[in-house]
Amino acid sequence: MKILVFAGSTRQGSYNRKLAREVAAMARERGADVTHLELGDYDIPMYNADLEAQGTPADVMKLKQLFHEHPAWIVCTPEYNASYPALVKNTLDWLSSPVKGDPVWNDDFRFSRGKVVGVLSASPGALGGIRSQSHLVPLLLNLHCWVAPTTFAVSRAGSAFDAEGHLTDEASRRRAGAVVEQVLWAASRLHTS
């Protein structure tokens, strides 16, 4: 099973980037073909329909194809002001915007329709970013994704990872692993070809 893992942060010491590395490793351990995506590696401007009218940026086209090729995704989202960050929204806004005149990418949901998505978060606070998840899930459903009901939020993330970026608590590792397993299980049943 091909799975795409990414964090909604580009910050060097991001807890969610650490969490994304952890769940990517967990998915590999379970036999998945993992693409660990760093959104900071792509040049994606703030969405603007006037800019788009000049041509969809090349990196957006690359990401459309990459997301499309993976039946399963795992998103690790930070929480900013009780919601998900602009990086996540901006990326999904670009990916869901149809490319006018393109026979393949004129379908806004081609990149996302039927994808099985797991949602995790990490935050220094006691709630672990659960409020960002509560806002992100409706957006993913609107994009015609199947969202796994099992989620996980790493609270007090400043002390949840060791110096190498691994989760230190075995219960946290189990709960994050449960999200990975559910996503892989559901994707294997929905995407049999």
pTM score over 0.85: yes
In CATH, what number is assigned to the domain containing residue 17? 3.40.50.360
Stretches in the chain below the pLDDT threshold 50 = none
The confidence score (pLDDT) of residue 168 equals 96
Residues pairing with 136 in the sheet:
none
The confidence score (pLDDT) of residue 191 equals 82
CB 179 within 8 A of CB 148: yes
DSSP secondary structure, 80-109, as one string: BTTB--HHHHHHHHHHHS--TT-TTTT-TT
Report the alpha-carbon distance of residue 172 to residue 156 in Å, rounded.
12
CB 22 within 8 A of CB 7: no
Report the alpha-carbon distance of residue 64 to residue 92 in Å, rounded.
10
Q: What does the angle CA 99 – CA 112 – CA 29 come to, to the nearest 5 degrees?
A: 135
N-term to C-term CA, the chain:
10
3-state secondary structure of 187: helix
Q: How many domains does the chain divide into?
A: 1
The confidence score (pLDDT) of residue 90 equals 98
The confidence score (pLDDT) of residue 192 equals 66
3-state secondary structure of 125: coil
Instruction: Tell me which residue range forms the domain holding 83.
Output: 2-190
The label of the residue with tokens 């952890």 reads: 22
